[in-house]
Chain A
Amino acid sequence: MTTAPTTPTSGDTYTCRYCRLQSQLGQDQRSCPTCGAPIDLRAAVSTSGWVEQPPIADMTRIQFGRSRVQIEGDVVPVADFSLHEGESVYFSHHALLWAEPGVRITNHPNAKGWKRMLAGMPSYMLDATGPGRVGISDNHAGEVIAVPLPAGGAMWVREHRFLAATTSIDYTYARNGLWYRTGYGDDRETHYPLGMYDDVFTARSEPGLLLLHAPGNTFVRDLAPGEHILVQPRALLYKDLSVQMGLHLEAPSMAGWSTWRRFQVRTMFLRLVGPGRVAVHSVFENELEGEAVTGGQYTTQQW
């Protein structure tokens, strides 16, 4: 299903349906000035309510502060930052694709990085400070998603999806407590479907730009208060802090069949409860299935 296209013109105040921010359109503007989403497309909305987030068009520019970023490519897009004197962005060191020698690259202050290292997360991040250009990219086929945050705004992001952010955005993390256990005795294993930590990005006193990389295509949905939905945990890209989440195990009816007690036909979902915005991406790693769940905090549905 598609909805009627909006055709804003130069000078109009435009509210982007993807980043939800208002901006003034410039001459011949074809993309949202704050997130780069095309403005002249019909919204592609599935019958269930998911809105497909259109990829940022090749060579689209997004201004932030006195610097700008240009999104280049459409298979594995690169964020090509042109940094003004004194302005900086931060990113994981493995996302650095190229840099002009004039750009100052230093370590980003990151408290308790060793905890994240133990969790398999990037523990050391880098700051790139202008003047100069630096290219940042992930290494999976997908889309770069720009999430502009107004002053005071915050966004939850799943681990490993962060690409880069302006230094006006604070980065914090905390254990999420979402886990379950399989196996018995010495074979017990603890699983963290979302990883052990939540990443939260907060724009302090001034707005900032957060860039994420989403493998595959991205879909966004607004959940009404109390509305809930089940998604694959590793497909979640970002969500508003107001959206609550928990694990939910679904086991299909076996129609008289049974399995050995160590095995179980089941799917471990993530239950998201509104109100708020959630985004998922279409390429994801499946939760391991087969081993019987023997512990953890989750709700269950046996069909």
Chain B
Amino acid sequence: MRDMEQFRFSASTVQVEGTMVPVAEVNLAQGDSVYFEHHVMLWKDPQAPLAAYSVPGGAKRKLAGMPHLVTVAYGPGRVAFSREAPGELLVIPLGPGVELDVREHAFVVASHTTAYSYVRIKGLTNLLHGGNGMYMDRFITSGEPGVVMLHGNGNVFERYLQPGERIQVEPGGFLYKDASVQMNTVQLDVKTGMFSKGLFVAEFVGPGRLGIQSMYHHHGSD
């Protein structure tokens, strides 16, 4: 996204500023709101009200190291957000009836028309070797469109997988996917250390879109 690019959701606007560690500056209209993890808020107008919102299943998320409380900012007023890493700010508009799964700690801010839930990553292999934590954030739109903004470390690439099409990805590179895309963990038969064998990668199976990031935390063995 280009520096100073602007776009609109509901009656509010967002301007994305900067290229190395971009900032999303939201100009909230009266009646609109956005929610976010409190530590990604960079600055705000004093008059923009804030409230806390407890995510369903909050205690479980707390145990998993995920935020169980999110903060809601209401319009009118301006609030700006950023995550403290070089990368790209992704704006993902969601049409009505869309479910998007997002890697933990990648979520920056979402519009009030988007429901925030989570899915537990299934399968012991996925949990132990997948590198994506225990939960993925899930953003759901029902009757109205919404918008979700994510932070991808490094550069972000998206690929649309056809039904049954597969791709193997370093688990730390996974950023987001449509809920229709399946995620499994597979082991490549290669030696990765003196006493370790097998490189675990995440295998995604279409249909749906898949987003990856180029600056990732390596979760393989050394």
Contact = CB atoms under 8 A, between A and B. Distances in A.
Interface of A: 72-78, 93-94, 96-101, 105-107, 113-114, 117, 122-124, 126, 137-141
Given A76-B86, A139-B216, A93 B154 contact: no
A122 B188 CA distance: 18
B22 to A, nearest CB: 10
A145 to B, nearest CB: 16
Contact of B217 (A78, A105, A139): A139
A75 B20 contact: yes
Nearest to A127: B190
A94 B214 contact: no
Contacts of A124: 190-193
A72 B212 CA distance: 12
Interface residues of B, number: 32
B220 interface: yes
A114 B194 CA distance: 7
A174 B188 CA distance: 30
Contacts of A138: 215
Nearest to A79: B214
Greatest chain A CB density within 10 A among B20, B203, B216 is at: B216
Given A72-B155, A107-B190, A93 B168 contact: no
A137 B188 CA distance: 18
Contacts of A122: 222
A139 B170 CA distance: 12
A93 B155 contact: no
18 contacts: A74-B155, A75-B86, A75-B155, A94-B220, A96-B199, A97-B170, A97-B173, A97-B212, A98-B173, A107-B190, A113-B194, A124-B190, A126-B199, A137-B214, A137-B216, A138-B215, A139-B172, A141-B215
A72 B157 contact: yes
B166 to A, nearest CB: 5
A124 B194 CA distance: 8
Contacts of A140: 215
Interface of B: 20, 86-88, 153-155, 157, 166-170, 172-173, 188, 190-194, 199, 201, 203, 212, 214-218, 220, 222
B193 A101 contact: no
A105 B188 contact: yes
B163 to A, nearest CB: 16
Given A76-B214, A78-B157, A93-B199, A98 B167 contact: yes
Contacts of A99: 167-168, 201
Given A97-B170, A101-B166, A75 B87 contact: yes
A138 B172 CA distance: 12
B190 A141 contact: no
B20 to A, nearest CB: 7
Contact of A96 (B154, B170, B212): B170
A139 B215 contact: yes
B209 to A, nearest CB: 14
Nearest to A122: B222
B97 to A, nearest CB: 29
B214 A77 contact: yes
A210 B166 CA distance: 29
